[in-house]
Amino acid sequence: MTAPFFFWFFAAIVVFGAVGVVAMRQPVHSALFLLLSFFGIAALFVTLRAEFLAAVQILVYAGGIMVLFLFTIMLVNIRKTAGEPFLHRQAGGALLVAFLLLAVVGGTIVASSRTSGLADAGQPADPAKLSTTTITRTVTETVDGKVVKTPVTEQVAGNSQAVAWSLYRDYLLPFEVASVFLLVAMIGAVVLGKRTMERVD
């Protein structure tokens, strides 16, 4: 699918960053490790021929969500909690559950790749499929004073264009619903963050 070096290199970065998120005591350090992980994932997207999503990953996650996280970390006073234990009381049981999950699902992946041949799941599809799309548009011309409309089928190249055509043609309704969702999230965040609630205790 891609040169093995790039996969292993960026996979190592992603896993290192993810472990850092969970293991670091200070939330600021966790956030920086999360940023590292996001960049690694964006690079993996490029190896998977999803260039547009790699850019979106960096813009939205590293640019937007990470800034939100850092703002919140600065707003809430963390220094005060520095002395407290940072792991939950149920950490032992939780780790056990996580390792069981790792063993069961990871074992399934390994076993299935060994028996049913997921490893040679066939050659990946032609990468050109991800970067070209066929569109049909109507060309309006005026010939001898008459308006002539002729449908034209053409190919557009480039991953961003292919994603854009699919997004605005096949996924128009989900796209609009997503925009309403973002509006609701924005209003909700403003209301939640603004109002001073009564203290309970």
Partner 1 sequence: MISVTHYVALSFLLFAIGVTGVLIRRNLLTVLMSIELILNAANLNLIAFSRQLGDLNGQLFAVFVITLAAGEAAIGLAIIISLYRLKNSVNLDAVSELKG
CA separation for the pair 135, 111 (Å, rounded): 42
In sequence order, the β-bridge partners of residue 141 are 148
Window 101-160: residues binding partner 1 (CB under 8 A): 101-102, 105-106, 109-110, 113, 118-121, 124-127, 129-130, 133
Residues 6+ apart with CB under 8 A from 39: 13, 58, 62
Nearer to partner 1, 98 or 148 (CB): 98
Positive or negative, the CA dihedral 145, 149, 152, 156 is positive
Nearer to partner 1, 125 or 139 (CB): 125
Position of tokens 């950490």?
91
Window 37-76: residues binding partner 1 (CB under 8 A): 37-38, 41, 44-45, 48-50, 52-53, 56-57, 60-61, 64-65, 68-69, 71-73, 75-76
Residue of 9, 11, 36, 58 that binds partner 1 (CB under 8 A): 11
What is the nearest approach in angstroms of partner 1 to the Cβ of residue 137? Answer: 19
CA separation for the pair 35, 7 (Å, rounded): 18
